[in-house]
A and B are shown apart, each in its own frame.
Chain A
Amino acid sequence: MSLQKTRNKSFFCEIRKNWLYYVMFLPAGLYFFIFAYVPMPGIVVAFKNYSYRGGIFGSEWNGLENFRYFYESGKLLLVTWNTLKYNLLFLVTSTILSVAAAILIAEMQGIWFKKTSQTLMFLPHFISWVIVAVFFYNIFNFEYGSLNTFLKTLGIPPVSIYSEPGVWIFILPFLYIWKTIGFSSVLYLSAIMGIDKESYETAMIDGANVFRRIWHITLPMLSSTIITLTLLGISRIMRGQFDMFYQLIGNNSKLMDATDIIDTLVFRSLITTNDFGMASSAGFYQSVLCFAIIVMVNQITKKISKENALF
């Protein structure tokens, strides 16, 4: 009881002493309260039969009905698999290619070429996926696209990418890397720049060639950055790249099975088809799974190497 009292007292002391700091925190505190914390209880809508009239809290409970529907429609397994598949592909290919790019840029001799190519590689980062979709259309559309124009001059029959589900497993990682490689390679490049020059010089004196140096010094020194970024990637593995999938593919039914991810399913159910049971149960599934994965990844990392843990 007395402990409680002193605790309360010290709480009020702290507030009185530093009240201005707490007032300064208020705008951000309120912002996240309204836009992040207030929606959280709304997640129970996944266990309700949502109606416009009832709203989130007035609608009737229907237990696990929404989840049963989500599972039985076959969408649960489909979107889980697609989301995992594409995110893993993005993560693996983009890590390998941007680490390679960073190492090669660091070893390059020509300053001008280095600067120019980095500038050009960064260009795609500045544009929205709406614009990327225009680029893509400009190159790949069936009737007038540059690719088919080119193929026709060679006498090869034109290709129709928008009705070919099989090719998207290559196209999407390619475009993802295209848009992000400038950004992610700079992250690795700045880690390389932080490596002590002395260790390189010692290696040179010992007669190690440049490949051995990369293998034995650069890569091990990069491993901590690679691990951190990979862990961040894994913790987001169930969050799809909505912008990309929606802008490039939209509601194209021919590609639906090959490219429908959780995020596009939730959006489509909520906005286009007003299928609230699907939208709420898939959204719940994603939020809870993401949270579980982040916590799990962090616990495991803490056990293996504490300094790489996210929190």
Chain B
Amino acid sequence: MKKGIDYIILNVVAYFYIGIIAVLCVLPFILLVSGSIQSEQSVIRHGYSLIPREIKPEAYVFIFRNPQKIIYSYGITVIITVIGTIAGLFISSMTAYVLSRKELKYRNALAFYLFFTTLFNAGLMPFYLLISNYLKLRNTLAILILSGMLNVIYIFIMRTYIMSSIPESICESAKMDAANGFYVFLKIVLPLMKPVIASIGLFTVLNYWNDWFTAMLFISNQRLYPLQYLLYRMLAFASYTQKMLSEGGFVTEMQFPQETMKLAMTVVATGPIILAYPFAQRYLISGMTIGAVKG
């Protein structure tokens, strides 16, 4: 295949454009890590810079000297992520299987019952009042797990997957052997759904891991803070203390590395997700391709 001048121009443009985007996407992560290992003194004197002036991981020393709070929040986040994802995936795939059954007379009505919730919702205030005043789910693990456990769009993506990639004949031959619908789902359909479950599972894990909003609405007990919310609180609280100190006119020698601490905390909270990322990327992309087929 011969390549003309048009190819060369296009590739120059492409490398330039994509290259800039890629660098912009990764640069903040580098700035974060390099900022977190700078010494507090050099940050206060000169500000953050891309290449650290003086490497001194005092912020990490500070965090790991007293890590109970962070470990605790990690635990909360891991618990809600694991329970929520497993329960969510099981219920979603079971629902998707039901919606894909052609012999079911009311399957379209059931699908619309789910779909309508994406068209209209009551808004924040009725939801908030229901959870906190009527169901009394404030300060429980249950609300952290339940909120965001099921997503109608994910259920529809799974249904599309079942209808397009799992041959009906497999389910029918199992039915011949007098297996009931639940058994067919559990033993035959569920194992065949692995690719779509991997992708949706990844999305669900990300949603749980990154959720701070549910905690901000419903959790005031510090022992139930998920990681992202703890991080948010620490950041907000640090800037609040800083403001108080500067406005009050006090000159206080803070013993704790307030500035680099924020970044180090962020690194600790983001680490696992970023490390898992190269392995997970494959599923993320395949899942979106499945979803792109309109469900």
Q: Tell me the bound Cα distance from A123 to B120 in angstroms.
A: 32
Asked if B21 lies at the interface with its beta carbon under 8 angstroms from chain A, I say: yes
Asked if A61 lies at the interface with its beta carbon under 8 angstroms from chain B, I say: no
Q: Contact string, B86-126, partner A, CB cutoff 8 A, digits 1/0?
A: 00000110110111010111100010011101011111111
From known contacts A42-B125, A45-B125, A145-B48, infer whether A37 and B117 are also in contact, taking CB-CB under 8 Å: yes
- Rounded to whole Å, the gap between the CB of A2 and the closest CB of chain B is 20
Asked if B294 lies at the interface with its beta carbon under 8 angstroms from chain A, I say: yes
Which residues of B (142-201) have their CB < 8 Å from a CB of A?
Answer: 146-147, 149-150, 152, 155, 180-182, 185
Asked if A217 lies at the interface with its beta carbon under 8 angstroms from chain B, I say: no
Q: Tell me the bound Cα distance from A126 to B289 in angstroms.
A: 18
Which residues of A (108-146) have their CB < 8 Å from a CB of B?
Answer: 108-110, 113-114, 116-117, 119-128, 130-131, 133-135, 137-139, 143-146
Within 8 Å CB of B25, what residues of A?
120-121, 123-124, 178, 181-182
Q: Cβ of A24 and Cβ of B32 under 8 Å apart?
A: no
- Rounded to whole Å, the gap between the CB of A94 and the closest CB of chain B is 12
- Rounded to whole Å, the gap between the CB of B183 and the closest CB of chain A is 9
**Set B235, B274, B292: member contacting A134, Cβ < 8 A:** B235
Q: Cβ of A139 and Cβ of B28 under 8 Å apart?
A: yes
Q: Cβ of B228 and Cβ of A128 under 8 Å apart?
A: yes
Chain A interface: which of B12-20, B64-72, B249-257? B12-20
Size bracket of the A interface: 35 or more
**Set B94, B126, B231: member contacting A24, Cβ < 8 A:** B94
Within 8 Å CB of B244, what residues of A?
none
Most buried by B among A113, A131, A144, A187: A131
Q: Cβ of B125 and Cβ of A101 under 8 Å apart?
A: no
How many residues of chain B have a CB within 8 Å of chain A?
100
Within 8 Å CB of A107, what residues of B?
10-11, 14
Secondary structure dominating the interface of A: helix
From known contacts A21-B181, A43-B123, A131-B266, infer whether A311 and B115 are also in contact, taking CB-CB under 8 Å: yes
Within 8 Å CB of B110, what residues of A?
25, 29
**Set B21, B95, B150, B209: member contacting A121, Cβ < 8 A:** B21
Q: Tell me the bound Cα distance from A204 to B48 in angstroms.
A: 52
**Set B95, B235, B278, B284: member contacting A133, Cβ < 8 A:** B235
Asked if A35 lies at the interface with its beta carbon under 8 angstroms from chain B, I say: yes
Q: Cβ of B155 and Cβ of A28 under 8 Å apart?
A: yes
Q: B285 — nearest CB in chain A belongs to which residue?
A: A186
- Rounded to whole Å, the gap between the CB of B95 and the closest CB of chain A is 4
From known contacts A24-B97, A191-B292, infer whether A149 and B103 are also in contact, taking CB-CB under 8 Å: no
Within 8 Å CB of A137, what residues of B?
235, 262
Q: Cβ of A28 and Cβ of B31 under 8 Å apart?
A: no
Q: Cβ of A294 and Cβ of B119 under 8 Å apart?
A: yes
Q: Cβ of A45 and Cβ of B129 under 8 Å apart?
A: yes
Q: B246 — nearest CB in chain A belongs to which residue?
A: A143
Q: Cβ of B235 and Cβ of A280 under 8 Å apart?
A: no
Q: Cβ of B123 and Cβ of A283 under 8 Å apart?
A: yes
**Set B10, B152, B235: member contacting A210, Cβ < 8 A:** B10
From known contacts A104-B18, A144-B48, infer whether A122 and B119 are also in contact, taking CB-CB under 8 Å: no
Q: Cβ of B32 and Cβ of A271 under 8 Å apart?
A: no
Q: Cβ of B26 and Cβ of A138 under 8 Å apart?
A: no
Q: Tell me the bound Cα distance from A187 to B79 in angstroms.
A: 32
**Set B104, B128, B288: member contacting A190, Cβ < 8 A:** B288
Within 8 Å CB of A34, what residues of B?
135
Q: Please give 6 more A-B residue pairs, beta carbons under 8 A apart, in addition to A32-B114, A121-B21, A186-B288.
A: A28-B114, A31-B91, A36-B122, A113-B15, A126-B277, A250-B236
Top 9 nearest A-B pairs (CB, nearest first) are A42-B126, A283-B123, A149-B47, A128-B210, A104-B14, A39-B122, A36-B117, A117-B22, A39-B126
